[in-house]
Structure 1
Amino acid sequence: MKLAFPMPHLLRLKATGQPWEAAVTGADQTRLARWAERLGYAMIAVPEHHIIPKAHVDLSGPHYFSAYPAMAYWAGATETIRVNSCIAILPLQHPVVTAKALSTIDWLSSGRVTVTFAVGWLEEEFRLLGVPFHERGARAEEYIQAILELWTADEPSFEGTYVSFKDVAFEPKPVQKPHPPVWFGGDADPVLRRVARYASGWWPFLTKPEDIPAKIDYIRSQPDYDGRLTEVFYGLGTARVGEGHAVQDDPHARPGMPRQEIVDRLGWFKDLGVTMSSVPIPPLASLDEYYDYTQWVAEEIMP
């Protein structure tokens, strides 16, 4: 079981945020990325929204990064830790631009990129960006095909409804071969079928832990599944966030659990098929206390 580093002030969800996090700066996060690397955390993952309608600010908060610039920045500030998105909204950006951003980060970081795509759920965000919300699944399907073509083909070409290209050059190619690990986030059957077709990782959000094995079986039962699924991410605190970022009360997902309960819970997750998780931040008063807690996790939980 690998552990990702829960970077503070990536977002301000009502379900999980703490007051001290709002004071964490970019300079603080740079130091924390290096700290996470020294402690042996496996990954830093970046949530993404481009714009939040006022009606959603109460639950979702106003503060989000664009995933790829943040991934690039932390990759440049570190040497070994992997960077990921959790998630990047695949239909909201042209796939050529997405492919170029991620191949650039992978090349500059010597192959430390993983990307978790999703189709998005916030309809108003799509409307504001001029992308038809109800086409997002079809666009995601076509966009991932185009991205993989650009990453892997010596002479890439693609003909689709939303994107087409031929007689083009695309470099740098990613360092990782055949391409950086692609994960998909989400829980619906179309997402799971997309995992089967294209992904080496799955990041569930609304799935209950006990239902993870059945969904893994569903992925592996698809006729176009080629055996590449190796990673399933489920955080210890995932169940605290419901649909639309609603606040959920789950005593088994609470922050601040004692050591043995955390270890036992992670062991149960492993038995369910989870390969990577994160330990939620307990109520703290300051960034200094956060340093102490993440060191405690590295020393007491990771081994």
Structure 2
Amino acid sequence: MQLPIQSQSTIYAEPWEAAAGPGDLRAIAVAADRAGFDYIASCDHVGVPRRLAPAMSTVWYDPVATLAHLAAVTEHVRLLSHVAVVGLRHPLATAKQYATVDHLSGGRLILGVGAGHVREEFEALGHDFKQRGALLDEAIDALRAALGPEEFPEHHGKFYDFEGLGQLPRPAQQRVPVWVGGSSPAAVRRAALKGDGWLPQGDPRDRLPEQIATLRRMRIDAGIEDPIVVGAITEPLYVGRPGWEVGRRTITGAPEELAESLRAYRAMGVHQIQVRFRCRSRDELVDQMTAFGAEVAPHLDQ
């Protein structure tokens, strides 16, 4: 699941998150760990321009700091950047940060990457917004090298060129998974050709099968035989019968009913689902997560 509090876009943030803080974030991460969630995720924006602030808000925790902090209070749940706009930073700096997170967490990092969509961020940091796709393409290659097993990684490309600079500690994992986020044709192609996983950004159920078929066809055409993890973001969920208005798109009901609905994603070829719960407080969210882990998740593989 994408963590609440750490990003508070009006598209998905619940009202209670505005007054929440680090203690709430830690409690939710611990609840995810105990309930058997596969990963918790944190977003990435360096700065939000005034023109977008009313919709996006300016609350965006740094993903490296957030995931490192939560690694210390969890044991099993994986730590996902969903997604890191890696074109905003040099790959060596990104690799140093995320390799450290993987090392400190005992190999629980998943590096989710995306091209970004905020022009002002790129301009403020000295990058050409129109080049963001090309920057990401090469950044993935450079990060593969910089997060690999070599103490002195090497990469020579158009935007990035480095060798002879040692970085320790190395990641705990032999290969840090790189999941590519986005649903545009360019993002799907990037995921197909460069990713270990694909993180679609809100594709509705009726669009996912075609997207997945395109992804698979591109990998076959490129001769890529390695498996890829296909994700999906589900509709908002509420376990049980809510006594309050949860929104028309929210899936509600008994655990078996939710599981039956969510199994449709597996039938499409989806391997992991990112869930979000409607809630009015931290305690209600923790209760929903606990109920999902104990009562819904066991039915998903049936």
Q: TM-score, normalised by structure 2?
A: 0.87
1:65-116 CA-partner distances (Å, limit 9, x unpaired) = 1211111111122111100011111211111011111111111111100011
Q: Which residue, 276, 284, 290 being the options, matches 2:285?
A: 290
Do structure 1's residue 299 and structure 2's residue 294 form an aligned pair?
Answer: yes
**How many residues align structurally?**
286
Cα separation, partners in 2 of 1:169 and 1:233, compared to 1, 3 Å: same
- CA distance, structure 2, for counterparts of residue 8 and residue 168 of structure 1: 37
Shift of 1:171: 2.6
Q: Which residue, 129, 133, 147 being the options, matches 1:151?
A: 147
**Where do residues 1-303 of structure 1 align in structure 2 (5 Å cutoff)?**
4=1, 6-152=2-148, 154=150, 155-177=152-174, 179-222=175-218, 223-237=221-235, 251=248, 253-254=249-250, 256=252, 258-284=254-280, 286-303=281-298
Range moving further from structure 2, 147-156 or 135-144? 147-156
- CA distance, structure 1, for counterparts of residue 135 and residue 182 of structure 2: 16
Higher relative contact order (CA 8 A, sep 6+): 1
Range moving further from structure 2, 102-111 or 155-164? 155-164
Where does structure 2 lack aligned partners over 5 or more consecutive residues? 237-246
Range moving further from structure 2, 227-236 or 71-80? 227-236
Match of residue 246 from structure 1? none
Identity %: 28
1:172-223 CA-partner distances (Å, limit 9, x unpaired) = 222212x111000001222222212221110111433222222222222233
Letter in 2 for 1:215: Q
Aligned-partner SS, 1:170: coil
Q: Is the 8 A contact 1:256 1:282 kept in 2?
A: no
Once superposed, what is the RMSD of the aligned Cα atoms?
A: 2.1
Q: Is the 8 A contact 1:199 1:228 kept in 2?
A: no
Shift of 1:120: 0.4
- CA distance, structure 1, for counterparts of residue 84 and residue 253 of structure 2: 30
Shift of 1:147: 1.1
Cα separation, partners in 2 of 1:278 and 1:197, compared to 1, 3 Å: closer
Q: Is the 8 A contact 2:88 2:127 kept in 1?
A: yes
Aligned-partner SS, 2:288: helix
Range moving further from structure 2, 165-174 or 200-209? 165-174
- CA distance, structure 2, for counterparts of residue 171 and residue 300 of structure 1: 43
Where does structure 1 lack aligned partners over 5 or more consecutive residues? 239-249
Q: Is the 8 A contact 2:31 2:290 kept in 1?
A: no
Match of residue 244 from structure 1? none
Shift of 1:159: 1.5
Aligned-partner SS, 1:38: helix
Q: Is the 8 A contact 2:45 2:60 kept in 1?
A: yes
Q: Is the 8 A contact 1:196 1:229 kept in 2?
A: no
Aligned-partner SS, 2:209: helix
